[in-house]
Amino acid sequence: MTAGAERSVVPASYGVTELDRLPRLGGLFAKGAAGSVTKRPKGAVRLPEVSYRVAGVDTSGEAAHLAAYQDLLGEPASDVLPAGFLHVLAFPLATAVMVRPDFPLPLLGMVHLRNVARVLRPVRLGEALEVRAWAQDVRGHRRGVQVDLVAEVLVGGELAYQGVSTYLAKGFTAPGAAAPGEPADDGTRPEWTAPLPTARWTLGGGTGRAYGAVSGDLNPIHTSALGAKAFGFPRAIAHGMYTAARALAEVGPALRGDRYEWTVEFFRPVLLPSTVDVAIRPAGDGLVYDGWRSGKGTRHLTGTVTPL
């Protein structure tokens, strides 16, 4: 997203598919699991040029859901929906795009790399929302291709939230070469030394199930040791967005303001149970946060929160 942009970024060439309501993640995951069997690398990836749109999403019945989210993540009680909750509301629509028959990448096994979200105006409980989602920008990565899933939330026709989730599909090929000045991601990262922690999270074995209950994301890698082992993990792992949203809550509304940009980059997953050290400190016009395995220095995530 372009800094300061406050308009929709849906590509002009994309058609629009109207849905009468936001879908449920449970059915989408079942559909995605079945479709993942047939989606294998075979030529360059081409995305469907379509955006999904749901108008008139009523948030007046979300009070209990919001309270459960705030309690789990450590957000203060408020009628303002934080960016992490807006991500939760819009995620099923983005998932619906990913389970389309013509979406070329398998839902199962996709690796969540990073997120960039911008809250452009406060969204309050009870407001009617329009939600949009689409996929764009397939590009190379040393292990396959990256793709962006974009979600937007509008209130009264005014853009209130934009979120871009970047995923990696291993073994696939991007169409054409990388754009000039934008080489394929080679996966290299600068050396990092853990700073002094400002917080410590003790995450129990049920953390994935708890966040799954408020987010709807009941992917078995987060909720079941057996499900996690099927994908090569020794035990269940925390949702990346749980850790990112908890860091956002640690920053808090007073420091992030009504309008803010929130970014996160994921490194190694958090195995459950686990203890995670967190550092939040000033950087430029905002704050930067890091999370790592307590006592080990294994970096899990880093990100920024910047008032706009």
Average pLDDT, the chain: 91
CA dist., res. 72 & res. 214, Å (int): 8
Kindly compute the dihedral angle of the four CA atoms of residues 68, 74, 77, 79, in this order, to the nearest 10 degrees: -70
pLDDT at 297 > cutoff 90: no
pLDDT at 4 > cutoff 60: no
CA dist., res. 159 & res. 92, Å (int): 19
Q: What are phi and psi of 300, to 5 degrees?
A: -100, -45
| Cα-based distances in Å from 132 to 63, 188, 232 | 22, 33, 33
User: What one-character DSSP code corresponds to residue 61?
Assistant: T
Please, what is the Cα angle at 241 between 199 and 285, to 5 degrees?
Answer: 60
Q: What are phi and psi of 69, to 5 degrees?
A: -60, -50
Q: What average pLDDT does range 188-211 have in this prediction?
A: 91
Using DSSP's 3-state secondary structure scheme, residue 23 falls into coil
Q: Give the Cβ contact number of residue 146 at 10 Å.
A: 21
CA dist., res. 171 & res. 54, Å (int): 33
260-270 residue pLDDT tens: 999 999 999 99
71-118 residue pLDDT tens: 999 999 999 999 999 999 999 999 999 999 999 999 888 899 999 999
Contact 75, 82 (CB under 8 A): yes
Q: What are phi and psi of 79, to 5 degrees?
A: -90, 5
3-state DSSP percent of the chain in helix, strand and coil, to 5? 25, 35, 40
Range list of β-strands (E), 142-268? 144-155, 158-170, 199-203, 260-266
Residue 185 confidence (pLDDT): 54
The single residue listed with the structure tokens 């990262």 is 189
Closest-CA residue to 29 (of 215, 158, 219): 219
Band of pLDDT at residue 37, cut at 50, 70 and 90 = confident
Long-range interactions of 215-218: CB distance < 8 A, separation 24+: 215/88, 215/91, 215/239, 215/241, 215/242, 216/24, 216/25, 216/26, 216/88, 216/91, 216/92, 217/25, 217/91, 217/241, 218/25, 218/26, 218/29
CA dist., res. 251 & res. 264, Å (int): 13
The total number of residues shown for the chain amounts to 308
pLDDT at 156 > cutoff 90: yes
pLDDT at 214 > cutoff 80: yes
